[in-house]
A and B are shown apart, each in its own frame.
Chain A
């Protein structure tokens, strides 16, 4: 199956700093998503981004499908950005929408 590698595993930022999270895939995927799990366990979809670039407020993501990686950019970080960021990928073959998740990047934003 697909292997998903995320880096860095842990990250501590001062409020206002910028950061880049990376996700590498062992094989091509046509379904790639980024999620944020807050400290209360809620998993929020940030981006559905199988290719190209998308932006949503202070967050943006870029996927280079041909090179099998995706990047999540967080600008002007806030304490509410703390939590775990997961990327997940899969290939829709007509049978379903199975996603393989990475192990996540644990982000802590400090004042």
Chain B
């Protein structure tokens, strides 16, 4: 069974631009979560989607948004990029929403210049 797939693996953007990251969960998994990892702040929760609905949101500005499609694939968007948005963005899927193991993708490394 294929794991969680994130695209692209690497991305370089300029301040002020916007970016869209994609995540395909493990087949059959219906919940998708997004996390940001930086050396200074560690791993921080962005948001979680289940059945195309955002079920939980972390403490990030409105520039960070996401969505989930009917096939459970998810995208996250960051608008008006700032230097501080440079990070590893990790997507995780789980079988159901709630208490089930999270399985992470390899991440998208975003660099903002």
Interface of A with B (CB < 8 Å)?
30-31, 33, 35, 41-45, 48, 50, 86, 88, 92, 95-104
Contact = CB atoms under 8 A, between A and B. Distances in A.
Given A86-B43, A96-B56, A101-B42, A45 B101 contact: yes
A96 B97 CA distance: 6
Closest 9 CB pairs of A and B: A96-B56, A96-B55, A101-B43, A48-B101, A43-B104, A92-B98, A96-B48, A98-B56, A31-B99
Kindly state the interface size class of chain B when it binds its partner.
20 to 34
B45 A33 contact: no
Given A41-B88, A45-B103, A99-B45, 9 more contacts: A30-B99, A41-B106, A42-B104, A43-B104, A45-B102, A48-B99, A95-B55, A97-B48, A102-B42
Given A41-B106, A42-B106, A98 B42 contact: no
